[in-house]
Amino acid sequence: MTSDHPPDSTPPVKMKAEDLRAWIDREEVIRGITLRIADKRVTALMGPSGCGKSPLLRCLNRMHEITPGSRVEGRVLLDGKDIYAKDTSPAEVRRRVGMIFKKPNPFPHMSVRDNILAGLRLNGLSAERPDELVERSLQKAALWDEVKGDLARPGTSLSRGQQQRLCIARALALGPEVLLLDEPTSALDPIATRRIEDVLHELRAELAVVIVTHNMQQAARVSDYTAFIHEGELIEFDRTDRIFTNPREQRTEDYVTGKFD
Amino acid sequence: MDANHVPRGHGPPLASKPKKTAPTPLFFAAPPLCHSPVTQHGYDDPVGTRVTRSLADAVVPKLLFLCALSSVVATLAIAGLLGAEALGFVRTLGASGASGAAGARLATLVANTVVTTLVGVLVALPLGLVAAIYLSEFAGPRARRVFELGLDVLASLPTVVLGYLALALLGPAFAEKSALLSGVALGVMILPYFAARSEAAISAVPHNLREGAYALGASKLQAVNRIVLPAALGGIGAALLFAVARALGEVLILGIVTGHAPEGRWDAWVLEASSHLARASLSATIEGALSLVALAVVMAVPASVGAASWLEEYAPRGRIMSLVETVARKLAAAPPIVYGLLGLAIFVRVLGSGESALAGAAMLALLLLPRMTTAFREALRAVPGSLREACLALGADRLRTLREVVLPAAMPGLSRGALRSLARAAVETAPLACIGAIELSALPWKLLGAA
C-alpha cells in the first residue's frame, strides 16, 4: 500500500497514524493504516460506504474505544506523542482533537451561548472572558452574524446547517489543534454544505482539519490532501489534485471516475 | 471504556498558567503554535478542583452503584415476601381441608373471576381499541392533546374508584347483581388504562411503515388495519393483560384489606372496599398522606436518580446483568397496591407498632424505588446517544457528561416520571391509611389465614 507522503509538501506533520489496526467485535475494520496529517491543511478521507473511514477518524481522537466491542492496535502520534500511551487520558486527547459528527448534535437544553461554553463546563473549566470566547468561536464558524441578536435562544431552534456550524463553534471554543469532521454535511442541503466548506477553508489557516466524505466533489473542493480508503486499507494518499487527475493506483482511478463497484 | 473515567491530569504544569493580561483566550488567535493546549486558554484551574474532581470520579460511580443495588434488592425482597405469603395462604387453605368451605369458596371465586374477566375484556377490548385508533391515527392535534390528557388522568386513578362509579351507575340498570354486572364494571375499570397503553403502542409504530403503506396506494383505514394494528399487536395484548391484572389485583387486595372474606361475588367488595377507601382517605388522612408522600419522595427521588444513572450509564453489559434487569423490571410492574400492602406488612413487622411518619415514609420510599428507577431509566434512555458522544468528543468524562448534559436533557422525562410515581404514592398511601384506621393487630395476613 502506498502511503508515501508527497515529497513537495512542506507543512509539518501534526498527527501520524502508524500501522493502525482497529476492530469492532471480531471484524477488523482498519487493517494497518499509516497516514500523516499535515498541520494547517485539510486532509480528506474518501472511500465507499463501510470502508473504514469513520472508524479511522474516530481512532484519531480515541472516540473509537467508546464503541462497544472495539479494539485498537498501533500508534497514533499527536505532535510526536502517542495518544494511546498508558499515561495519556482520552479526555485530554479529545480536547486537543475536536470532532464534528454526521448529524448536528447541539445540546437541546442549552442556549446558543451555553452550547459554545459547554466544552469548558464539561471539563470543569471557566472561560476568562466568556462573551469574547463565544463571539470569537461563532465568528470562526461563520455563525455570529446570524445569531448575535439572540444568543439565549435554544441551540436546537437553529436550522440544520446553523446547528452544524454551532457544533463547529462549540468544538472551536476549546481551542483544538486538530478538527475531525465525520461527513459533516451528509444531513445538509447544498447551500448549507457550501457554508460549512467555506468555514473549513477559513479554519485551514489555523489548525489541521481531517474530513471524512463519500462525496468526491467535496473532497476535491475542500482538501489539500486526499486519502483513498477501501476495505480498511489505505489505497492511495497524495495531494488532492494528483489523486483526481493522475492517480497511481487503478482502484483510485476507478473510484474517482465512477467506475467503482 | 475505563479510560474515560480518567480525570484530566496530564495537562501542562500549573505554573505555566498564562498571565491574566493575555489578550486572547483562543488558541487560534495566538500566532505561535503552543504545545500545551490548556494553558493557552488562560483557564483558571486551581489544584483544589483537580483533587476533588478525581475523588468524585472515584466515589460517585460507587455511590450510584449502591443506589442501583438497593433498588434491585428492594424489588426482589418485596417479590420474595409476596411469594412467601401467597404460599403460606395456599398452605392454610390446604390444611383446613380441601373439601371444606374455604376450598369451595375459592373454586367459585376463581370461576366467577374467569367469567367476569371475559365479560370485562369483551366490553373493554372493542371500545378501548377504537378509542386508541382514533386518538393515534385520526384525531387532530388539539383533540388528541385534550383526549390524551383526560385518558391519562383516568388511567392513573385507582381502578377501584372507577369500578365503584360503574357499579353505582349501572347497578340499577341490572335486575340483579350478577357476573354480567361485575364484568361490565371490570370493563369500565380497565378501559382507560387499556386505551392509554394501546394508544401508546399504536403511536410507537414507526411512521415510515404507514408511509410505506400509503405509497402502495392503501387508504388510511387499510393502512391502519393491515399494517399498523398488526405491528402494534404485541403492545396491545400486553396492555390488555396489564389492565386486567391491575384491576383484579387492586380489587382483590382491597377486598382483603378491608376485611371481607372472599365471597363468590366480588362486585359487592368493590362497592364496599372503594367506599371504605374514600371515607378513610378523605376524612382522616389527607394531611398525613401528604406529609408521608412528600417525605417519601424526598428520599426516593435522589436514590432513584442514582440507581437509574448507574444502570444506564455505568452498568457493565452482560447476560447476568440483563437477567437481573428483566426480573426487576417485571416485578416493578406489579399492581401498586401489592407494594402498599406488603410495605405495611414490613412496616408493622420490622418496626413494631411504630407509627412515626419518618419510618412510614422510609418504607414508602423503598416501595417507590423500583418503579421510579424504571421510570427514570426510560427518561435517561430517551436522551440521544449523539449528545453523549458530543460530550465525550469535547473531552468530558462520564460523570460530567451525566451531570451537565444527560440529566438536564432528561429533565422533562425525569420530572414526568417523578410526578407519576408521586401520584402512585398518593394512591398507595390511601390503603395504608385505610389499614391504619383498623387496629394494627388486624393484619391482612391474619385475615387471609382466617379465610
User: What would the pLDDT profile of B76-94 be if each residue is shown by its tens digit?
Assistant: 777 777 677 667 666 665 5
Q: Which residue of A has its CA nearest to B405?
A: A107
Q: In the prediction, which pLDDT does B429 show?
A: 55
Can you give the residue ranges of every domain in chain B?
62-91+284-451, 99-263
Specify if A117 maps to a domain. no
Residue B197 or residue B31, greater confidence: B197
Least-confidence region, from A80-89, B123-132, B255-264? B255-264
A99: chain B residues, CB-CB within 8 Å: 393
Specify if A135 maps to a domain. no
Q: Give the fold, CATH level 3, of B62-91+284-451.
A: MetI-like fold (1.10.3720)
d(CA B152, CA B388): 32
Mean pLDDT calculated for residue range A198-204: 92
pLDDT tens digits for range B337-383: 566 556 555 655 555 544 555 666 776 777 778 778 888 988 898 88
- A180 pairs with which residues across the strands? A99, A210
Helix, strand, coil share (%) of chain A residues, nearest 5: 35, 25, 40
Residue B250 or residue A137, greater confidence: A137
pLDDT of B390 above 60: yes
Report phi then psi at B96, rounded to 5.
-80, 5
Identify the CA nearest to B240 among candidates B280, B196, B284, B270: B196
Cell of A3: 502511503
What's the gap between Cα B285 and its chain centre?
24
d(CA A185, CA A190): 9
Which residue in A122, A129, A177 is closest to B394 by CB distance? A122
Amino acid letter for position B287: E
* Containing structural domain, residue A184: 13-109+178-256
Secondary structure (DSSP) of A30-72: EEEEEEEEETTSEEEEE-STTSSHHHHHHHTTT-GGGSTTEEE
B25: chain A residues, CB-CB within 8 Å: 127-129, 132-133
A44-83 residues touching B, CB cutoff 8 A: 61-63, 65-66, 68, 79
Asked if the Cβ–Cβ distance from B27 to A122 is below 8 Å, we say no
pLDDT tens digits for range A102-161: 888 888 888 999 999 988 888 878 888 899 999 999 999 999 999 989 999 988 899 999
Distance from the Cα of B310 to chain A's closest Cα (Å) equals 17
Specify if A243 maps to a domain. yes
pLDDT tens digits for range B157-184: 666 667 767 766 776 666 555 667 777 8
Question: What number is the ipTM of this complex?
Answer: 0.76
CATH number for the domain including A93?
3.40.50.300
A103 has a chain B CB within 8 A of its CB: yes
Give B339's contacts (C-beta < 8 A, 6+ positions apart): B78, B367, B371, B428
* Superfamily the domain B99-263 falls into: MetI-like (1.10.3720.10)
Q: What's the number of domains chain A is made of?
A: 1
How many beta-carbon contacts under 8 Å exist across A and B?
Answer: 155
d(CA B83, CA A86): 51
> B176 burial class (0-12, 13-18, 19+ CB within 10 angstroms)?
exposed
Q: Mean pLDDT over all residues of chain B? A: 68
User: Do the domains at B62-91+284-451 and B99-263 have one common CATH topology?
Assistant: yes
Amino acid letter for position B185: A
